[in-house]
Amino acid sequence: MLNKIVHNLMQPRHFWRKVDMSELSELYASMLIRSLALSLIGLFVPIYLYKIGYSVQAIFGYFAVLFIAKTLLDIVSAFVIGRIGPKHAIALSTIGNIINLMMLLSIKELHWPLALLAILSASSLSLFFIAFHTDFSKIKHSEHGGKELGYMAIIERIGGVAGPLLGGVLATFFDARYTIVLAIVLLIGSLVPLLTSNEVVKVHQAVTFNGFTYKKHIRNFVSYACHNTENSVSVVMWTFFIALTVFKLNTYASIGAITALGTGISLLIAKTIGTLVDNKHGNKLLNIGVFANALVMLARPLIRTPLSAIGVNMINDPVTICYRMPFMKNFYDAADNVSGYRIVFIAFSESMSALMRAFIWGGLFISSFNYDPISAIKVVFYITAIISLGIALQPRDNRI
């Protein structure tokens, strides 16, 4: 039902498509439900672990293990996706997510090893992102990819607005575990649009990393690693930071509200940005967005009050979407141009970005033995401001 609604909404705007719109509508519908599900609890995982008694150092260690594991699992996921196809891989990753959330739900009573949850989360993230990028890059239209990215951003941000608000209210006035239960139910629902259609990517592919011209794509790999590292710091680490320093009371509701506010603002401009990308203004937007984003990152360590935290969130998400959409348009176009190595290109990009994030979170974990964790996070914000400039290293397509 949901994918039919999405199909009817999008079809009039995609009259130029040669690919059956149902393929995109199914992906849009699944992403809407998944975005809502993970927005309910995703932001709050480190806060939840902290609230139930885990130390800041242990939480740093959790993310370090997660990204170390993902660095290796991204290569394994490439072979899995080649074998079963991206849609089935997304479904498999969703099942892994559900198991992970069930373990998180019971971790206080059953004392699951935090490292085990990190590895399971890494496997789900690895399968999902490689599969999603493979699927979307395959079915998008090369000349109107900006519009399609705009609609995908809208879909994600609808969930990104509703999820934190609802999750924050449930966690504050009832119990954080209610948000986990609701997320599990929604994730199950996100499987339906995917399992009602065929794969658009050839299955039983013999994926091989031999013969791929890695040197030719170094700038792609470096810029993508910088992009994902900045995202990890500005979303997960930033949320945890303000939970520890600014919103110590009513943490879930406060962070859910300001996250929804920033996401809502970017929701209003997503379609416009996508149109500008297709009208060859993407490279300018990317440069402006990267520079502005670095300035926002430099401001994060200075935040002391709720009002200043709200200000950062209101600026950050629109700035992020400004550079992210042209960046991802270039990324998908680059994946199109590596004939026979689409999955390899995406998987290696993901693996290198996980490695960079492993260094960031691992550095935090090690430094927390001798230094104040809050001060260490502030240093990471400054380092990430410099790293984020590397996003602009991405090879550009003059068409955007």
Q: What is the pLDDT of residue 160?
A: 55
Taking Cα atoms as reference points, which of 255, 286, 85, 249 lies closest to residue 169?
Answer: 255
Average pLDDT over residues 263-284: 68
Please state, rounded to an integer, the average pLDDT across all residues of the chain.
80
Alpha-carbon distances of 345 from 209, 350, 355, 359, 395, rounded to whole Å:
9, 9, 16, 22, 14
Written as six digits, the tokens of 373 are: 């964790």
Q: How far apart are alpha carbons 387 and 353 in whole angstroms? A: 12
Fold of 20-196+213-393: Growth Hormone; Chain: A; (1.20.1250)
Place of tokens 């470096």: 222
pTM for this model (two decimals): 0.85
Query: Cβ atoms within 10 A of the Cβ of 293, count?
Result: 24
- pLDDT higher than threshold 90 for residue 326: no
pLDDT in tens, 154-200: 656 565 556 565 666 666 667 667 787 777 887 887 777 666 656 55
Task: Give me the pLDDT at residue 126, please.
Answer: 95
Stronger pLDDT, 3 or 257, i.e. the higher one? 257
Q: How many angstroms separate the CA atoms of 102 and 181, rounded?
A: 8
Average pLDDT on 325-339 reads 86
CA distance 92 to 95: 5
**With 70 as the cut, is the pLDDT of residue 110 above it?**
yes
- For residues 276-283, average pLDDT: 68
In the chain, how long is the greatest CA-to-CA distance? 60
